[in-house]
């Protein structure tokens, strides 16, 4: 079977047409957000606007796929971490695809609208995801394909209730986590539960990117770059939301990112009562018998020593010993330089840390609370007469 091609927007020199707008600055250097605006000359102002009003962010570098066919949901149910077989029309969620050892390979956002499942993932990961899905089809009535759709995101505390489409049609924007509606001219609008109090993703035909971006501006949204969006995700989102391939590495298992654990109603990507998918044994074992070796936390960095010069993957040290890795690094308009990091769970929250010579402190508010004893361990204790 021939696998349809997905553009690799991280390596092919992708340049969004929005970069031609006045003030738009490309992301410096290579990286997952190259090719879309980093900011428009006032990154801190863009962040502040989101906390009081609304911004529009060009995220057209994300990879988008669709799955058609009457068995698309029941087929997908067999190998993803979230219950998706009973998704209602015009609803969605998030899910993971794991390897045989329970390590995270893909993180996907889903919307099932009018007989088609629309999914988007991180830039550069669509081709591998599509190849995997295509191999899994066998004889099911499911047709995964690359989609010529791009993502534009409205984020902020003042999201509009409606938007006038480029063709003049008034579109009521969806309300409720992952609620999705079709858009005139193709594509969908999907409500997301983060950052801030929520956002709306517009997944629109590539040819309509500038038209929809301008429609958002006409509705009162200020253009903002990936810098602002990442700062909102890293600081203004509670609990923390990870970005696959930035805040994770090849060893990451789902429980290291607490917000990935939970059903759709809990805004999670891993349903703990779902079985029979690749990697599920690791999820069950960690949930019932132990804790993940690492956990995602927020770090406050010493701004006098450096900040965004740090790169994802840099080692986090405590007393000269490696205790984790840095992921997202960004300057926030209020808190200064911050980072997300996967740290060994055993590291106390008051530990003095260092990253490439930069002092760092754990934000105690970002440390996940202990949910209590695991059911499996309590059962073992009872069997041993230790209860």
pLDDT tens profile 8-45: 444 457 999 999 999 999 998 788 999 999 999 999 99
Pair 207, 60: CB distance under 8 Å: no
Count CB atoms within 10 A of the CB of residue 273: 6
CA distance 339 to 230: 10
Pair 136, 122: CB distance under 8 Å: no
Q: Angle at CA 112, nearest 5°, toward 108 and 117?
A: 65
Q: What integer is the mean pLDDT of 156-166?
A: 97
Q: What integer is the mean pLDDT of 327-334?
A: 96
CA distance 6 to 148: 9
Beta bridge partners of 121: 63
Q: How confident is the model at residue 372 (pLDDT cuts 50, 70, 90)?
A: very low
Share of the chain above pLDDT 70, in %: 91
145 or 308, higher pLDDT: 145
Q: Is the pTM of this model over 0.75?
A: yes
387 or 76, higher pLDDT: 76
pLDDT > 90? residue 310: no
Q: How far is CA 272 from CA 80, 82, 279, in A?
A: 12, 8, 12
Pair 273, 99: CB distance under 8 Å: no
Tokens of 74: 């029941």
Pair 169, 183: CB distance under 8 Å: no
CA neighbor of 345 nearest in space, from 322, 367, 361, 316: 367
Question: Pairing between strand 222-224 and 55-59?
Answer: parallel
CA distance 78 to 375: 26
Beta bridge partners of 181: 189
Q: What is the pLDDT of residues 82-121, one digit of tens each?
A: 999 999 999 999 999 999 999 999 999 999 999 999 999 9
CA distance 125 to 241: 18
Question: Looking at residue 241, what DSSP letter applies?
Answer: -
306 or 17, higher pLDDT: 17
HSE at residue 386, side-chain half, CA atoms within 13 A, is 7
Distance of CA 19 to the CA centre of its chain: 23
Burial class (CB in 10 A: 0-12, 13-18, 19+), 114: exposed
CA distance 132 to 359: 41
CA distance 38 to 370: 37
pLDDT > 80? residue 384: no
pLDDT of residue 174: 97
Provide the terminal-to-terminal Cα distance of the chain, rounded to the nearest Å.
Answer: 56
Pair 43, 227: CB distance under 8 Å: yes
Tokens of 383: 């069997």
pLDDT > 90? residue 380: no
């Amino acid at each position: 079977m021939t696998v349809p091609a997905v553009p690799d927007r991280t390596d092919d020199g992708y340049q969004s047409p929005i970069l031609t707008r006045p003030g738009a600055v490309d992301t410096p250097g290579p990286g997952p957000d190259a090719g879309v605006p980093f900011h428009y000359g006032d990154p801190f102002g863009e962040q502040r606007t989101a906390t009081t009003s609304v911004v529009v962010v060009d995220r057209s570098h994300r990879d988008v796929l669709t799955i058609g066919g009457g068995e698309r949901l029941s087929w997908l149910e067999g190998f993803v971490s979230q219950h998706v077989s009973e998704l209602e029309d015009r609803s969605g969620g998030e899910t993971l695809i794991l390897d045989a050892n329970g390590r995270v390979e893909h993180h996907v956002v889903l919307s099932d609208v009018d007989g088609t499942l629309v999914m988007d993932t991180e830039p550069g990961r669509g081709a591998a995801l599509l190849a995997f899905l295509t191999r899994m089809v066998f004889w099911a009535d499911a047709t995964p394909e690359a989609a010529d759709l791009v993502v534009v995101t409205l984020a902020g505390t003042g999201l509009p209730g409606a938007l006038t489409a480029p063709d003049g049609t008034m579109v009521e924007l969806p309300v409720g986590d992952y609620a999705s509606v079709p858009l005139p001219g193709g594509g969908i609008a999907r409500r997301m539960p983060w950052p801030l109090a929520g956002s709306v993703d517009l997944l629109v035909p590539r040819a309509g990117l500038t038209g929809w971006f301008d429609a958002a501006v006409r509705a009162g949204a200020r253009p903002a770059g990936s810098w602002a969006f990442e700062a909102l995700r890293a600081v203004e989102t509670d609990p923390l939301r990870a970005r696959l391939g930035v805040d994770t590495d090849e060893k990451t298992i789902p429980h290291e990112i607490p917000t990935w654990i939970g059903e759709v109603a809990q805004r999670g990507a891993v349903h703990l009562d779902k079985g029979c998918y690749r990697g599920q044994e690791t999820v069950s074992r960690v949930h019932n018998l132990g804790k993940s070796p690492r956990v995602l936390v927020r770090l406050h960095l010493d701004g006098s020593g450096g900040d965004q010069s740090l790169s994802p993957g840099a080692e986090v040290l405590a007393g000269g010993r490696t205790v984790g890795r840095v992921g997202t690094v960004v300057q926030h308009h209020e808190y200064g330089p911050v980072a997300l990091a996967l740290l060994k769970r055993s590291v106390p929250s008051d530990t003095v840390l260092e990253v490439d010579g930069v002092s760092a402190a754990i934000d105690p508010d970002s440390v996940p609370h202990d949910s209590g004893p695991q059911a499996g361990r309590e059962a073992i204790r009872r069997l041993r007469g230790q209860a």
